[in-house]
Structure 1
């Protein structure tokens, strides 16, 4: 069985990160506690810094997961927390949810 076009595995760029929009390998080293479990040390500033690490005005949970070295589910939770706090907005387009910072050109459609 051959992979169908459009599947996530077929969309990875040369860097192997998401859709290839990340600038270089900016994965952060994750810290483990004494039991070997990952310490939850993701701050709001870490999530917002992903916007500077990828091309474009929007990010996806996959972008955040790739840059921060966390699962896409964890990335989604962190992004949605920022939406609740009012720092980000989101929109579903097809099967993908995109997130953007409040006050960027994507949000400025009131003209």
Structure 2
């Protein structure tokens, strides 16, 4: 119950604080929003690509071991995003923002 509440609060926080227009916060070809991507990573869907899950994801981000680009690259390797997403500064900024607020 607490994990679900945390994920819900994370989603609401990311959505409410994002200053990127909605069209820029979604990968153009694959349709995964930056918020959804961070949730997928947090829930372990990118573990095979080397992205930790749950609290370790936040710890790795806070310590500088991973960044938004790493998460996006992992999603590209897992065929969840198109390679062009790496050049979308708005998308990367939104992923970075959500990663920065994982512990909130």
TM-score (norm 1): 0.25
Between Structure 1 and Structure 2, whose CA radius of gyration is higher? 1
Q: As a proportion of its length, which structure holds more helix?
A: 2
TM-score (norm 2): 0.27
Q: As a proportion of its length, which structure holds more strand?
A: 1
